[in-house]
Amino acid sequence: MQPHIVVSREAWIAARKTHLAHEKELTQARERLSEERRALPWVKVDKDYAFDGPGGKVKLADLFKGRRQLVVQHFMFAPEWNEGCKHCSFWADGFERMIPHLAARDTTLVAISRAPVEKLAAFRARMGWTFDWLSSGNGDFNYDYAVSFTPDAIKSGDNIYNFATSGFAIEDAPGISVFYRDEAGNIFHTYSCFARGLDMMNAAYHYLDLTPLGRHEEELPYPMDWVRLRDQYTPAPVQASCCHS
């Protein structure tokens, strides 16, 4: 942590107001970015995607559940894995309770992974989640939306991730894709984001950003090295008191 001066309440309020002006600049920039995002062109989805769910095969149109908007959380869970990605689980813990609120705004959120539906169901039960989780393991969906890569693509360097800004070293990657369904039943792909574009969806990170220590990941091998599945954390060590008795 960088050193901090200790000041009077009045001096703190003055410094906080200066920072507030910068926060407002960011808020206004974010609003402009959201308007630009909503104005992006769309791509019509012509492929008839099918997924495996707990009740059998379902189509992409079924995932909307009668609503106009669908958000797909591309959850890293390869067919040979025995549990889902700990980082995707970090995000899932956050959006788990958002589902009814999104539904109230004509939006359905589901998770999709390549692992078989039986593994998804078992891990979902272990984590206590209730969101819909489908398997795309028997189709092209993950590959078409750039969150899965064949071994040959990885070997040849064709594993294009985040709109060609980087490659991805393993077969599954995280992402979000958004779709819209019109009154005629046509489905359109409207948006996707990957990598740091997912950051704003993690409320826990943004709470940490409010604290003096922040995310304090600088000394770790990689930024999310500290993350564990929710049931795998050990109790945090008790810090020694900084006060003298």
Percentage of the chain modeled with pLDDT above 90: 87
- Single-letter amino acid, residue 3: P
Q: Is 77's pLDDT higher than 50?
A: yes
In sign, the C-alpha dihedral spanning 153, 156, 159, 160 is negative
- Single-letter amino acid, residue 163: F
Confidence at residue 164, expressed as pLDDT on a 0 to 100 scale: 84
Percentage of the chain modeled with pLDDT above 70: 96
Look up the pTM and report it: 0.91
Query: Residues 228-238: what's their mean pLDDT?
Result: 81
Identify the band that residue 236 occupies on the pLDDT scale cut at 50, 70 and 90. Answer: low
In sign, the C-alpha dihedral spanning 130, 37, 39, 112 is negative
Domains detected in the chain: 44-201 (3.40.30.10)
Q: Is 242's pLDDT higher than 50?
A: no
Q: Which two tokens stand for residue 121?
A: 């169901």
- Per DSSP (E only), the strands in the chain are 43-44, 50-53, 56-59, 69-74, 107-113, 133-135, 160-161, 166-167, 175-181, 187-193
Q: Is 194's pLDDT higher than 90?
A: yes
Task: Kindly give the interhelix angle for 117-127 and 86-95, rounded to the nearest 10 degrees.
Answer: 60
Query: Residues 132-146: what's their mean pLDDT?
Result: 96
Confidence at residue 169, expressed as pLDDT on a 0 to 100 scale: 83
Query: Residues 232-243: what's their mean pLDDT?
Result: 62
Identify the band that residue 243 occupies on the pLDDT scale cut at 50, 70 and 90. Answer: very low
DSSP string, 102-159: HHTTTEEEEEEESS-HHHHHHHHHHHT--S-EEE-TTSSHHHHTTSB--HHHHHHT--
Q: Is 244's pLDDT higher than 60?
A: no
Identify the band that residue 19 occupies on the pLDDT scale cut at 50, 70 and 90. Answer: very high
For 147-175, what is each residue's pLDDT tens digit? Answer: 999 998 888 888 889 998 777 889 999 99
For 35-50, what is each residue's pLDDT tens digit? Answer: 999 999 999 999 999 9
In sign, the C-alpha dihedral spanning 149, 151, 152, 158 is positive
Q: Is 188's pLDDT higher than 80?
A: yes
Q: What share of the chain is helix, strand, coil (3-state, %, to 5)?
A: 35, 20, 45
Confidence at residue 239, expressed as pLDDT on a 0 to 100 scale: 54
